[in-house]
Structure 1
Amino acid sequence: MTRPQSSNLSDEALLDLVQRQTFRFFWEGAHPLSFLARDRTGLNADASDDLISIGGSGFGVMAIIVAVARGWIEREAAVARLNAMIAFLERTPSYHGLFPHFMNGRTGATIPFGRKDDGADIVETAFLFQGLLCARQFFDGEGADEKSLRDHITWMWSDAEWNWHTRDGRKALTWHWSPNNGFALDAEIRGWNECLIAYVLAAASPRHAIDPAAYHGGFAQSRVFINRRSFYDLELPLGPDFGGPLFFAHYSFCGLDPRGLRDDYADYWRQNVQHTLINYEHCVRNPNGHKGYGPSAWGLTASDDPSGYMAHAPDNDNGVISPTAALSSFAYAPQQSMRAMRHFHDDLGEGIWGRFGFVDAFSETHGWRAETYLAIDQGPIVVMIENFRSGLMWRLFMGDLDVQRGLRRLGFQSPHIGA
């Protein structure tokens, strides 16, 4: 696609362009049989493998909702696509109703993420259901196809045994379970990180809910949960020093509305704004002297990298900028994000803009750009920009009665659920 001259585009038109072009990753670039989201695909050609991302597919479901709301695709086409995706998922192996990190988009077989990570991934499953519950809310028509979509989502949601991951007296959710290796990886999910959504959904389950003690005594008791120190003159309520990669402020909050969301530990709007501004300030001050950094070029998060894949952050900064970091932060820092978007498109677009929007990452320091798009980076761009523009996904997810019950059980307050 030819890159429009954005000097002729208003801010709203540029937002439309970036969202719509990025959405195409999940529509035109979806796996041709399952229609689920490929884990990654190339700048010029689709991936030759059948690797599907479960979490990325959840973000893809949300991107499809945005596309319907924006009029980019017909509602009926979206319902047909989603029904096909769910029909495929229902035929694939699940592990006490939960899904693996990766699967084969042609056969449905689990593709191990690691030697012992060959079963349920509760965090990837949470990202999937975050999207599916939004779809259950959005597609509320009386026609048979929309009713079938809602029913099948509800059946899958009701079958997921979230509490399996706290069995045997475990004090926190355990990330993985394998039919071959059980809980051998023994990775407890303790925060602050991207996993808040897993606890909310696990507490919200209509049939297999966890005890809230797993949240309060597990996730919230990590050594890297409470911070309350200042970085670049900005106090950070939660998380590792300097905040960690910016996806912490994006993945769980594609659905969870942080505006007015509070519990005993933090105000989550303030948490995400401060995290974003620390990341921005680091790139502006540029203590490592990386080429190209500044007020128009910022954003450190997990992405592809010249050495493979890396969770970039202010304290792990090798000069790689990931467009998803700034673009998924519009709600938290709109002026800074718009300035970055215009720079990425107007000034750097000949090198980093393509058929599915901006490439996954680039580095002027290394003279490098990724030749890839990643599902878990593309999805939040579409969804979080939409939350900035209309709050659509936040309204849908927070309007779900199960979600509201889960938040109450964990002790959260939100305008969506009252005090």
Structure 2
Amino acid sequence: MRSYSPETDRIVNTTAMQDDLATLQRETFDYFIQEANPANGLVLDKTEANSPASIAATGLALACYPVGVDRGFMTRSAATERTLATLRFFWNSPQGPEPDATGYRGFYYHFLDMQTGRRVWQCELSTIDSTLLLAGALAAGQYFDADTAAETEIRTLADALYHRADWCWAQDQRETVTHGWTPEQGFLKYRWEGYDEALLLYVLGLGSPTHPLPKTSYTAWTATFRWEHCYGYEYLYAGPLFIHQLSHVWIDLRGVQDAFMRSKGSDYFENSRRATLVQHRYAIENPRGFDGYGEHCWGITASDGPGPCTLKLKGIERRFLSYAARGVPYGPDDGTLAPWAVAASLPFAPEIVRPTISFCIHQAKLKAAKAYGFKAAFNPTHPGTAGSAFDWWISPWHFGLDEGPVVLMIENERSGFLWRLMRSCPYIRCGLQRAGFEGGWLREFEPGRTPAP
């Protein structure tokens, strides 16, 4: 009999984890192949019947296609064709103040009809969702670098789309950027203030060569931050986990600091690590007493949910939410967890994320084979619906906005693929530098230095 070897056991477990991650990434990637319109490149917001396209999901798809080529999920020619169809659609689609246009001032409506590409639901012209779309276009422009007519057109269209966005208009005559605009009501009353996913928005806005945000807009944004102490960690607070991930999908923020982070002796990557550890500790301590929470069962973010409803369970009245921006530690928290948000935290805290992914796959059975990876959300406290294969509520849908970060953050942790790609984008570098970022990989681009290959 072979004697037990801890080193052999570690290698076997590591190999199994790598296999799990590779399978999760591959099956999640399929969302962007199966749930898209190849004629215009638009990607479905979620798998519920009659759902529209999401421009954010479409932007994530544009960044995922290069990963798909690199990993052998699709051919370069297929990715080129899909990318070109997407960029041509957005460049040629109607831009104007009409209520059924596709966009205005270089920004786009949050939700579009999958076939016509026109605005649906009287939704807003979304600055953050347009940011994700434009970031995807820029990623495509960096990746498709061959001297062919198709790839040259991709680069030309990516630049043209980015140059068209009028970031100054989106400020509505104040320092910070608005959430959006509608032809019926004008600018929304909400602005990108407080630490949130808008870090990417401000970097792209500052880096624009045509309609750049002033440097003061970034300073005004950081002036609204909240630095807090939770569960033994000091960090820049934001409740939902996705806020600590979304900008990091695109930008390598390891070791680069703006004035705010220099004053704290930290950086945004370390901040996201601390936020992930806070989420983990919160689930272990479980202050609200929800079922299932623990060392390998955590991840609270904006997600689908079982509500709205109120149920009395085990003598406690529980109020359950539908789709909501759940957060830690102040809530809202109704017992709903999102396994995709755990997977998207992989680069920050692999030592706690990897065991949780394994638990979600093998114990909780939250990944059905060939079904776009993890279920969007689940709630072990809610009893679920009669006839379900689970004893608790589980979301019946998959969401494009959840799928992209899983594909891309698995790849960033594995190879740094998208981070490297976007480091080579001059607009990203310009935006970071105008925001006051210094250090880390940005040193390679200081005057007199030769960038590393």
TM-score by length of 2: 0.84
Partner of 1:296: 296
Partner of 2:114: 105
Q: Provide the secondary structure at the position in 2 that maps to 1:230.
A: strand
What amino acid is aligned across from residue 318 of structure 1 in structure 2?
Answer: D
In the alignment, the residues of structure 2 paired with residue 261 and residue 113 of structure 1 have an alpha-carbon distance, to the nearest angstrom, of 40
What amino acid is aligned across from residue 174 of structure 1 in structure 2?
Answer: T
**How big is the shift at 1:177?**
2.1
In the alignment, the residues of structure 1 paired with residue 226 and residue 185 of structure 2 have an alpha-carbon distance, to the nearest angstrom, of 33
Match of 1:373 among 385, 390, 398: 398
Contact 2:134 2:161 in 1 (8 A): no
Match of 2:29 among 23, 35, 49: 23
Contact 2:256 2:442 in 1 (8 A): no
**How big is the shift at 1:69?**
1.1
1:334 lines up with 2:350 in the alignment: yes
Once the two structures are superposed, what CA deviation does each residue of 1:150-200 show, in whole Å capped at 9, x if it has no partner? 1111111111111111243x12111212333222x2211112011111100
Gaps in structure 1 of 5+ consecutive residues = 1-5, 42-46
Partner of 1:273: 273
The alignment of Structure 1 onto Structure 2 pairs a total of residues equal to 395
Contact 1:299 1:326 in 2 (8 A): yes
**How big is the shift at 1:212?**
0.9
1:256 lines up with 2:251 in the alignment: yes
Partner of 1:81: 82
What amino acid is aligned across from residue 311 of structure 1 in structure 2?
Answer: A
Match of 1:247 among 242, 245, 251: 242
Question: 1:381–1:55: structure 2 CA closer, same or farther, 3 Å change rule?
Answer: same
Cα RMSD over matched residues? 1.8
**How big is the shift at 1:50?**
5.0
**How big is the shift at 1:346?**
0.7
Partner of 1:383: 408
Question: 1:31–1:277: structure 2 CA closer, same or farther, 3 Å change rule?
Answer: same
**How big is the shift at 1:34?**
2.6
What amino acid is aligned across from residue 209 of structure 1 in structure 2?
Answer: P
In the alignment, the residues of structure 2 paired with residue 182 and residue 350 of structure 1 have an alpha-carbon distance, to the nearest angstrom, of 42
What amino acid is aligned across from residue 351 of structure 2 in structure 1?
Answer: Q
In the alignment, the residues of structure 2 paired with residue 350 and residue 324 of structure 1 have an alpha-carbon distance, to the nearest angstrom, of 10
In the alignment, the residues of structure 1 paired with residue 300 and residue 184 of structure 2 have an alpha-carbon distance, to the nearest angstrom, of 36
Question: 1:18–1:376: structure 2 CA closer, same or farther, 3 Å change rule?
Answer: same
What amino acid is aligned across from residue 198 of structure 1 in structure 2?
Answer: L
In the alignment, the residues of structure 2 paired with residue 157 and residue 13 of structure 1 have an alpha-carbon distance, to the nearest angstrom, of 37
Question: 1:213–1:369: structure 2 CA closer, same or farther, 3 Å change rule?
Answer: same
Gaps in structure 2 of 5+ consecutive residues = 1-11, 94-101, 262-266, 308-321, 383-391, 447-453
1:177 lines up with 2:193 in the alignment: no
In the alignment, the residues of structure 1 paired with residue 16 and residue 367 of structure 2 have an alpha-carbon distance, to the nearest angstrom, of 22
Deviating beyond 4 angstroms after TM superposition, the runs of 4 or more aligned structure 1 residues are 6-9, 350-354
In the alignment, the residues of structure 2 paired with residue 397 and residue 213 of structure 1 have an alpha-carbon distance, to the nearest angstrom, of 24
Partner of 1:52: 53
Contact 1:127 1:252 in 2 (8 A): no
Compare relative contact order (CA 8 Å, sep 6+) and give the higher one, 1 or 2: 1
Partner of 1:190: 193
Partner of 2:324: 310
**How big is the shift at 1:408?**
0.8
Partner of 1:91: 92
Q: Provide the secondary structure at the position in 2 that maps to 1:154.
A: helix
Contact 1:39 1:53 in 2 (8 A): yes
Question: 1:154–1:350: structure 2 CA closer, same or farther, 3 Å change rule?
Answer: closer
**How big is the shift at 1:247?**
0.4
**How big is the shift at 1:350?**
6.5
Partner of 2:71: 70
